[in-house]
């Protein structure tokens, strides 16, 4: 772990995996979302999703990759890239179309990994077989990003997520059977969630041995059910100080080998009525680091709940061996 940071940063994780800096190239596909189609979508989800940095979904995959690569190369002098299918539910496509998009990305020069963002209820062996075939033929690594948001299944229902904790667990176990890595998205301050929910979410992700997490501070996107409730005063957002505490406690309970890809949300100002308490993400990061340093928080500090914690406490085992 980087000694300068009290958590395992994703940048270091990629360096350890590939031996050098690797950058994501966002790709936007014309994929939809079954939850939006059938149930109106998540309460917090904007109509255009989260692909703010990606190009129009009707631009061919190779053209999107080429455009973004030129920008990244000029700025960071990068040589290895991840084709990142970010927006909406990227497995919610006919199988043949999904395969065509993945093949196009795999043929692009210097792609070492394909990352596919999707929902827990859109994981299926047929789609994972497509990715497994690419990984075998092209020597690529595969990451599947899954939105969980919280382990509190009551909150999942209130936010109209369209799935429960069970579907998430099933999706993770299914993806891992193929040897793929899993990144999980979590919102630490959904309405009515408490600190106990933050702790339990960290514990579940640690026990499932996911490879990375993306933490999000709740933002209120315009023209969403959550925006309506927020403007009507039916829901509120926790204070900045409370969020910093939740992030620190989450990291305390997160297994130290899990990479942390993000700690705060980002959304264009014009698309939201609330985001990050009016602060920039880097200012919030500095405040979080100061909070963690002051309070002695660091990733894995309280991760001793796995692997027979009660047996170790009783003195029956020590470091995994019976005494």
Per-residue pLDDT of the chain (323 residues; tens, 9 = 90+): 445 899 999 999 999 999 999 999 999 999 989 998 788 899 999 876 454 556 888 999 999 999 999 999 989 989 999 999 998 899 999 999 999 999 999 999 999 999 999 999 999 999 999 999 999 999 999 999 999 999 999 999 999 999 999 999 999 999 999 999 999 999 999 999 999 999 999 999 999 999 999 999 999 999 999 999 999 999 999 999 999 999 999 999 999 999 999 999 988 888 899 999 999 999 999 999 999 999 999 999 999 999 899 998 899 988 765 55
Q: Exposure of 112 by Cβ count < 10 A (0-12 exposed, 13-18 middle, 19+ buried)?
A: middle
| Residue 41 token pair | 């979508």
Question: Residue 266's pLDDT is what?
Answer: 86
Q: What is the pTM of this model?
A: 0.94
Please report the sign of the dihedral spanned by the C-alpha atoms of residue 178, residue 132, residue 94, residue 186. Answer: positive
Distance of CA 318 to the CA centre of its chain: 34
Give the pLDDT confidence score for residue 60 in this predicted structure: 95
How many residues are given for the chain?
323
Closest CA to 165 of 225, 211, 207: 207
CA dihedral 264, 266, 272, 278 (to 10 degrees): 60
In the beta sheet, which residues pair with residue 51?
A: none
Q: What angle do CA 47, 218, 86 make, to 5 degrees?
A: 50
Distance of alpha carbon 46 from the chain centroid: 17
Angle between helix 240-253 and helix 281-295 axes, rounded to 10 deg = 60
Give φ, ψ of 183 to 5 degrees: -115, 135
User: Exposed, middle or buried by CB within 10 Å (0-12, 13-18, 19+), for 164?
Assistant: middle
Instruction: Report d(CA 226, CA 240) in Å as an integer.
Output: 19
């Amino acid at each position: 772990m980087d000694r300068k940071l009290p958590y395992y940063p994703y940048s270091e994780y990629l360096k350890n995996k590939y031996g050098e800096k690797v950058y994501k190239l966002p790709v936007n596909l014309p994929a939809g979302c079954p939850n939006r189609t059938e149930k109106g979508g998540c309460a917090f989800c904007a109509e255009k999703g989260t692909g703010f940095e990606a190009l129009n979904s009707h631009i061919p995959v190779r053209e999107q990759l080429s455009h973004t690569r030129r920008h990244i190369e000029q700025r960071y002098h990068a040589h290895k890239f991840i084709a990142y299918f970010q927006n909406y539910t990227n497995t919610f496509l006919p199988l043949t179309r999904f395969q065509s998009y993945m093949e196009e990305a795999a043929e692009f020069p210097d792609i070492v990994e394909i990352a596919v963002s999707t929902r827990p209820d859109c994981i299926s062996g047929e789609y994972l077989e497509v990715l497994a075939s690419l990984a075998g033929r092209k020597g690529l690594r595969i990451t599947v990003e899954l939105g969980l948001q919280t382990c509190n299944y009551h909150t999942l229902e209130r936010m109209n997520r369209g799935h429960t904790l069970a579907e998430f667990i099933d999706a993770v176990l299914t993806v891992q059977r193929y040897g793929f890595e899993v990144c999980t998205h979590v919102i630490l301050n959904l309405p009515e969630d408490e600190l106990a929910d933050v702790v339990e979410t960290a514990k579940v992700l640690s026990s499932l041995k996911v490879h990375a997490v993306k933490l999000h501070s709740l933002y209120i996107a315009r023209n969403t059910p959550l925006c309506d409730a927020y403007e009507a005063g039916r829901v509120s957002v926790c204070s900045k100080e409370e969020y910093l505490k939740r992030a620190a406690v989450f990291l305390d309970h997160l297994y130290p080998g899990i990479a942390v890809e993000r700690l705060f949300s980002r959304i264009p100002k014009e698309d939201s009525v609330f985001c990050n308490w009016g602060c920039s993400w880097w200012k919030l990061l500095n405040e979080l680091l100061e909070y963690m340093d002051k309070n002695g928080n660091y990733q894995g500090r309280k991760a001793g709940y796995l692997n027979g914690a009660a047996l170790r406490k009783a003195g029956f085992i020590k470091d995994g061996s019976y005494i």
